[in-house]
Amino acid sequence: MCVVGLLLAIYWRTRWIGAGLVAAGLLGCTSFYGGMALLLRLDRVAWRHEPPLVAFGPDQKAGLVIYFRHGTTDEQIEEFQKQTPSFVSEYLRLPPSQANGHDAVALTFSENARPDQVRWYIEKVERDGRVEKTYRDVAPTAIQP
């Protein structure tokens, strides 16, 4: 706004419009930086309070690693994902290259999950016809063939 205002201020017929644009540009810039300074002083800026990074991947310990039987389709695995309960905090689909030739998923349970819920869910998964093998409390890359 200031640049356009300076260009308009050169000509006598648009001088007042140019001065108004320069004033508006300066006022806008001042209010923005003044507001940011106030928010920083009050510690109300969002990027100063970002949550800590969480490591997530096949080399991190998972609560349950599930190997699916050979021949299980992608649709069946996606259907399995839709049936995961709310106390599963992280769901990681593993390609066969990371799961010893199997399609697999790694699940991490939330801290507020009740042990009886987790135990019931693990028993339900082990009885599922699509599941070949389950591993508890292990990193997917640490499972040997």
Q: What is the pLDDT of residues 8-42, one digit of tens each?
A: 888 888 899 999 999 999 999 999 999 999 999 99
CATH 3.30.70.260 occupies which residues in the chain?
62-142
Does pLDDT of 130 surpass 80? yes
Instruction: With cut-offs at 50, 70 and 90, classify the pLDDT of residue 121.
Output: very high
CA gap 49, 1 in Å, rounded: 33
**46-74: string of b/e by CB count within 10 Å (b at 16+)?**
eeeeeeeeeeeebeeebbbbbbbeeebee
CA gap 102, 67 in Å, rounded: 6
Does pLDDT of 55 surpass 80? no
What is the architecture, at CATH level 2, of domain 62-142?
Answer: 2-Layer Sandwich (3.30)
pLDDT at 28 (0 to 100): 96
Over residues 65-71, the mean pLDDT reads 92
